[in-house]
Amino acid sequence: MMPETENGTPNVSAPPTPGTPGAPLFSSLRVDSLSYDRNSMPRCNRCLPVSSYSWASPPTCFTEIPKPDVSLTRKLGAEFVGTFILIFGATAAPIVNQKYNGAETLIGNAACAGLAVMIVILSTGHISGAHLNPSLTIAFACLRHFPWVQVPAYIFAQVSASICASFALKAIFHPFLSGGVTIPSVTTAQAFFLEFCITFNLLFVVTAVATDTRAVGELAGIAVGATVMLNILVAGPSSGGSMNPVRTLGPALAAGNYKQIWIYLVAPTAGAIAGAATYTLVKLTDEDGVTPRTPRSFRR
């Protein structure tokens, strides 16, 4: 019973502070308007009825606002910057080699691409996974290592970065951009099979160090960069050693040279899927009696 005043009206005072004797344990629910926590947002009793159960689908509630996917935005930003660095470095080396009459040589071209891949993986691998390659993204999605819903956004970031890097090189080294375009010097069948094989090798290594916890993940950048360098040393004089559709697409757009471009769009994608699938087939399982390592991140 509430105390009454002399005229018989209830004496209403401020509610006691929670935690004091006689006070409720929790005060009324407070909704924080600045919080993204969906649990703190107001609910209507029609969406999730508590008192009664209904077999019919509950009515739609428009009071909840979906949480923005900030992490995907950061991934795309890291993927854009990483692909820009890769295309800029891997394409600039043969352009410089052409401009200065073979100053870089084949070893220099291969080293520039391999080092670019290595530093990007070590710097952005813990953010976006450092795909840098639409063929890799598609292969990982096919093998359920990457969600399909994010594939278009990743490919858009990679293609955009390739175009930006290529036109930046055009502004710097014009008119020597043709040296950075990958054009086959062998037959179409030979170039196709060569790009298929070197991309197969690349994705076999990438799948090992990126998806298998038994592999030494901390050395992923070195392993992948060395594979890129090896592949360019083998295929550079014949097909250009692309292994990556955006490595060919961006410079082709900037230079206006689309000769046999379909090879560099189809062969790397097919080789990537085959390489990733092959490692998945030979990958050790727990039934083989090998204890997997503790999963680690690129971030130390």
Q: What is the pLDDT of residue 215?
A: 78
- Distances in Å between the alpha carbon of 120 and those of 87, 131, 217? 11, 10, 15
List of domains in the chain: 71-284 (1.20.1080.10)
Question: Exposure of 153 by Cβ count < 10 A (0-12 exposed, 13-18 middle, 19+ buried)?
Answer: middle
**Percent of the chain residues past pLDDT 70, beyond the cut:** 72
Tokens standing for residue 92: 């600039």
Q: What is the pLDDT of residue 291?
A: 55
Indicate whether 183 pLDDT > 50: yes
124 CB neighbour count, 10 Å cutoff: 23
- The single residue listed with the structure tokens 């092959």 is 278
**Rounded distance between C-alpha atoms, residue 147 and residue 137, angstroms:** 9
Q: What is the pLDDT of residue 165?
A: 96
User: Which of 184-198, 214-228, 250-264 has the weakest average pLDDT?
Assistant: 214-228
Mean pLDDT of 105-117: 95
Confidence of residue 267 (pLDDT cuts 50, 70, 90): very high
Indicate whether 185 pLDDT > 70: yes
Indicate whether 121 pLDDT > 60: yes
* Tally of CA atoms within 13 A in the half-sphere of 292 that contains its CB: 14
> Which residues fall within 8 angstroms of residue 28, CB to CB, at 6 or more apart?
none
Q: What is the pLDDT of residue 9?
A: 53
Report the b/e string of 175-190 with b at 16+ CB within 10 A: ebbebbbbbbeeeeee
Helices (H) and strands (E) in the chain, counts: 8, 0
Identify any residues that bridge with 4 across adjacent strands, giving them in sequence order.
Answer: 10
pLDDT digits (tens, 9 = 90+) for 51-110: 444 445 545 544 454 554 548 999 999 999 999 999 999 999 999 999 998 888 999 999
**Rounded distance between C-alpha atoms, residue 275 and residue 92, angstroms:** 28
Indicate whether 224 pLDDT > 90: yes
Q: What is the pLDDT of residue 62?
A: 44
pLDDT digits (tens, 9 = 90+) for 21-51: 444 443 443 333 333 343 444 444 544 444 4
